[in-house]
Structure 1
Amino acid sequence: MRKLDSYLELGLLGMSRGGQLSWFNGHFGAALLAGYYLYKEHKLPEYVLEGIERTGEHYREMYPDWFVPLEKEESDSALLELVLSGLAKNTEQLTASGHGLALGVLALKALHDAPHMRTKSVIAGIVQMLERTAEDRPDRYWGIDNYLELSIEEDRGIPTYQSTLDMAKQAFAELHLVAPDQIIDGKKYFFRGELEHGITHAQALKELDRLGYTDLAKAGMKNHRFQMFLNRQKPHFIEEKQVRTPAFSTILAPEYWEKRYDDPHALKVPYAAWDLLRFVPSQERAVSEYDTCKILSLMQ
């Protein structure tokens, strides 16, 4: 057995324990889950698997207490309803760039695959994380004082999604201009981050639909469409700093996987993008993957 085989349980533990401290800290367990599913669902070169383990083990070293094995505790499948309620709350309004879905659906998927992990302590941490993702800073997006007060029903130049494929294609289409996150006038704007969250949010909703939670997925798709509009809000001067040519042109590039990353998105974005790219028409896939590499070129 290789280290990756342990990442299903360790990912849930890390997400639960980290998520009790802040929703962002839930990312590190989610990253291990992303690495696990990359490994289990795709035939990948050995150097990619080694790269996942290199970074995954780094996260475990950063926060060792979060990944201590669970003490013996009875599981209760009825507790899964608490996670579903937390996901439903996060479909009511776009908050935190869709992290409630991006993180929560990974947890839901893992809890389906590891029902023995549906314990009170694990579920409590995940539910607490989902409660926190339902709140956000109102001036998160450039030039908008309070995006939480805007209507999501307006057209705003984004076509209505007829399918999850439409949503995936739109998320990739928004990657034509990728620029680094920046602090402007004392506020941080996630110009790169919002684009990667468009991908992780879309993949989570597609996965939610695949798992049979179609109504939740449809409710979330309205928020994703609104998110695409918000992600377009950028000052003109960031074009000067955009990534015009990524350091590599494929998500499986050895240059990417030979490094060790601090940012948990380093595993989450490849997982989400690689999964979504399977459904993108072949004539569009190369451009979508190339543009995703602009994001990965900025990963630290």
Structure 2
Amino acid sequence: MTLIHSYLELGLIGMARGGQLSWFKGHFGAALLAGYFMNQEHDLPEHVKEGIVRTCESYRKQYPDWFGPLEPEEPNPRLMEEVISGLKANTQCLRTSGHGLALGVLALKALRERPDLTTPTVVKGLVNMLERTREDTPNRYWGVDNYFTMTREDVREIPAYSDTLAMARQAFAELQMIVPGRTLDGKKYFFDGEKTHGITHAHALAELERFGYDELVAAGQSNHLIQMHLNRQLPDFMLASEVKEPPFTSILSPAFWAKTYEDPHALKLPYAALALLKRLPKEERAKAELDTCKLLSILS
């Protein structure tokens, strides 16, 4: 087994342990899962595989306790329903930029491939993480005092999605204008990060559709639409820092994969974007990929 193939088990364990501490710490196990699935689902050049391993190994070195072996436990397939319930709860309303689905669906995919890892310890960690992704601050978005009160009816400038392809198109369309995050009046706003989460959230919903969870997809798409509206909220002066021309135009560019990244979205975003690009008509992919590279170019 190569290192990259070991990231299915390691990523799931790391997400369960990190996610017990805080939902954000679940990102690091999720990054290993993204690297594993990206390798499984795409014909990647060697420099991309090397980049995946380099960054994933840096996370393992940084958080060794999260990725160590588990104590032996009997798997229980019925525990999968607890994970599904956690995902369902995260479709009831938009919270934490859709992280409950972006993280949780990666875990679901891993458990579907490795049902022997559906153990009490792993599932408990995942469920705790999914519960915490439903906790957020109401003033997350610039200029919005309480986004918890926003409904689908409040979004008039974006048409309702006819299907998950329309959702993917909208998520990519929002990448045409990218500005980096900034602290304003003492509060950090993740202007670029929110656009990233529009892609990872959309990908998670597309995967749920593929797995047959149509009820969750229908509810989740309304949240994604609200998210697209909220992601547009920023002060006009931020337009001066817009990323207009990325230094590379391909998600698989050696210029991107030569680095070791602290931000786990450096694996999660490429994986989600590559999957969603496959859903677009061929003539739409180059522009969507170029805009994705704007986001990738400012990751650290």
TM-score by length of 2: 0.99
What are the within-5 Å matches in structure 2 for residues 102-117 of structure 1?
A: 102-117=102-117
Give the aligned partner of residue 91 of structure 2: 91
Aligned length: 300
What are the within-5 Å matches in structure 2 for residues 24-39 of structure 1?
A: 24-39=24-39
Give the aligned partner of residue 191 of structure 1: 191
Give the aligned partner of residue 251 of structure 1: 251
The residue matched to 1:153 in structure 2 has which SS?
helix
Question: Which segment drifts farther, 151-160 or 195-204?
Answer: 151-160
Q: Is contact 2:246-2:297 (8 Å) kept?
A: yes
Residue identity matched to 2:174: E
Residue identity matched to 1:193: G
The residue matched to 1:122 in structure 2 has which SS?
helix
Displacement over 3 Å in runs of 4+: none
Give the aligned partner of residue 201 of structure 1: 201
Residue identity matched to 1:191: F
Query: Is the counterpart of residue 231 in structure 1 residue 241 in structure 2?
Result: no
CA distance in 2 between counterparts of 1:52 and 1:211 reads 26
Q: Is contact 2:194-2:231 (8 Å) kept?
A: yes
CA distance in 2 between counterparts of 1:62 and 1:158 reads 42
Q: Post-superposition shift, 1:155?
A: 3.6
Query: Is the counterpart of residue 76 in structure 1 residue 76 in structure 2?
Result: yes
What are the within-5 Å matches in structure 2 for residues 162-173 of structure 1?
A: 162-173=162-173
The residue matched to 2:183 in structure 1 has which SS?
strand
- What is the alpha-carbon root mean square deviation over aligned residues? 0.7
CA distance in 2 between counterparts of 1:42 and 1:104 reads 21
Q: Is contact 2:82-2:127 (8 Å) kept?
A: yes
Give the aligned partner of residue 294 of structure 2: 294
TM-score by length of 1: 0.99
Q: Post-superposition shift, 1:72?
A: 1.1
Q: Is contact 2:150-2:226 (8 Å) kept?
A: no
Give the aligned partner of residue 52 of structure 2: 52
Q: After superposition, what is the alpha-carbon deviation per residue over 1:110-156, rounded to whole angstroms, capped at 9, x for unaligned?
A: 10000000000000000000000011110000100000012223342
Q: Post-superposition shift, 1:251?
A: 0.1
Q: Post-superposition shift, 1:214?
A: 1.2
% same residue: 60
Give the aligned partner of residue 284 of structure 2: 284
Q: Post-superposition shift, 1:166?
A: 0.2
Give the aligned partner of residue 125 of structure 1: 125
Q: After superposition, what is the alpha-carbon deviation per residue over 1:199-251, rounded to whole angstroms, capped at 9, x for unaligned?
A: 00000000011011111111100100110000010110111111111010000
Residue identity matched to 2:210: R
Residue identity matched to 1:192: D
CA distance in 1 between counterparts of 2:287 and 2:219 reads 29
CA distance in 2 between counterparts of 1:131 and 1:7 reads 24
Residue identity matched to 2:226: F
Q: Is contact 2:90-2:100 (8 Å) kept?
A: yes
What are the within-5 Å matches in structure 2 for residues 134-213 of structure 1?
A: 134-213=134-213
Give structure 1 stretches of 5+ with no counterpart. Answer: none
